[in-house]
């Protein structure tokens, strides 16, 4: 008779830029797999993620299996004029006729939040999100996510994100995206 396998336990931890650099191939593989991008995307994104680590307010959180394998990753920083994403969202808001209001002032850009498909559905995304946003700079948080009914959408709605811009096509990706936002801090569970 064999014993039942012990349940997998994940550890959530903040990562320094040096710690993420050391695990960048692993983190990018999670990103590519979770987003359904071609493997060649890794070469394009590696320098971008490295540059993001130098931005003001940068924070990163990882989820690790009990074998110390990275299974989830999230990071962000203070958004600012001149940054690619900021300018894309500004352009989208202006062209849609939506009011920019103060959305693009004093915000934390949740740049990446991904959980490997093998770890999805167990609450890891929310744990990463909550840890990342706890103490994040800014009065609000903004993110973009592909349109459609996904686990990510359910998570963002559950923690209070609302529509800022819908069905926007970022340069370089043919899919429609939504830009979502909410005030900081998050309410406790």
Mean pLDDT of 164-172: 93
In the predicted structure, residue 4 carries a pLDDT above the cut 50: no
In the predicted structure, residue 27 carries a pLDDT above the cut 50: yes
Domain positions in the chain are: 11-183
Higher pLDDT, 98 or 148: 148
Residue 14 · residue 131 · CB < 8 Å = yes
Distance in angstroms (rounded) separating the CA atoms of residues 50 and 157: 30
Residue 91 · residue 85 · CB < 8 Å = no
In the predicted structure, residue 13 carries a pLDDT above the cut 70: yes
In the predicted structure, residue 19 carries a pLDDT above the cut 60: yes
Q: What is the pLDDT of residue 98?
A: 76
CA atoms within 13 A on the CB side of 171: 8
Q: What is the pLDDT of residue 10?
A: 81
Q: What is the pLDDT of residue 8?
A: 54
Say which range, 10-24, 57-71, 88-102, has the weakest mean pLDDT.
88-102
Distance in angstroms (rounded) separating the CA atoms of residues 21 and 1: 44
In the predicted structure, residue 2 carries a pLDDT above the cut 50: no
Q: What backbone phi and psi angles, to 5 degrees, belong to 91? A: -60, -45
CATH number of this structure's domain 11-183, picked from the four choices 3.40.630.30, 2.60.120.10, 1.10.3720.10, 3.20.80.10 = 3.40.630.30
String of DSSP letters for 6-23? PPP--EEEE--HHHHHHT
Residue 126 · residue 160 · CB < 8 Å = no
Q: What is the pLDDT of residue 132?
A: 98
Mean pLDDT of 126-140: 97
Q: How sure is the predictor about 92, in pLDDT bands with cuts at 50, 70 and 90?
A: very high
Active site residues: 156
Mean pLDDT of 91-109: 90
């Amino acid at each position: 008779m064999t014993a039942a396998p012990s349940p997998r336990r994940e550890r959530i931890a903040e990562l320094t830029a040096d710690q993420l650099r050391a695990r960048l191939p692993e983190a990018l593989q999670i990103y590519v797999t979770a987003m359904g991008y071609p493997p060649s995307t890794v070469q394009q994104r590696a320098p971008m993620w490295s540059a993001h680590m130098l931005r003001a307010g940068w924070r990163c959180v990882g989820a690790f299996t009990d074998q110390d394998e990275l299974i989830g990753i999230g990071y962000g920083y203070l958004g600012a004029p001149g940054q690619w994403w900021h300018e894309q969202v500004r352009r989208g808001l202006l062209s849609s006729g939506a009011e920019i209001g103060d959305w693009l002032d004093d915000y934390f850009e949740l740049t990446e939040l991904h959980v490997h498909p093998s770890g999805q559905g167990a609450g890891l995304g929310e744990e990463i999100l909550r840890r990342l946003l706890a103490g994040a700079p800014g009065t609000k948080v903004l993110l973009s996510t592909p349109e459609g009914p996904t686990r990510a959408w359910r998570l963002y709605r559950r923690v209070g994100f609302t529509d800022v811009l819908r069905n926007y096509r970022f340069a370089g990706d043919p899919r429609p995206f939504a830009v979502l936002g909410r005030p900081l801090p998050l309410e406790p569970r």
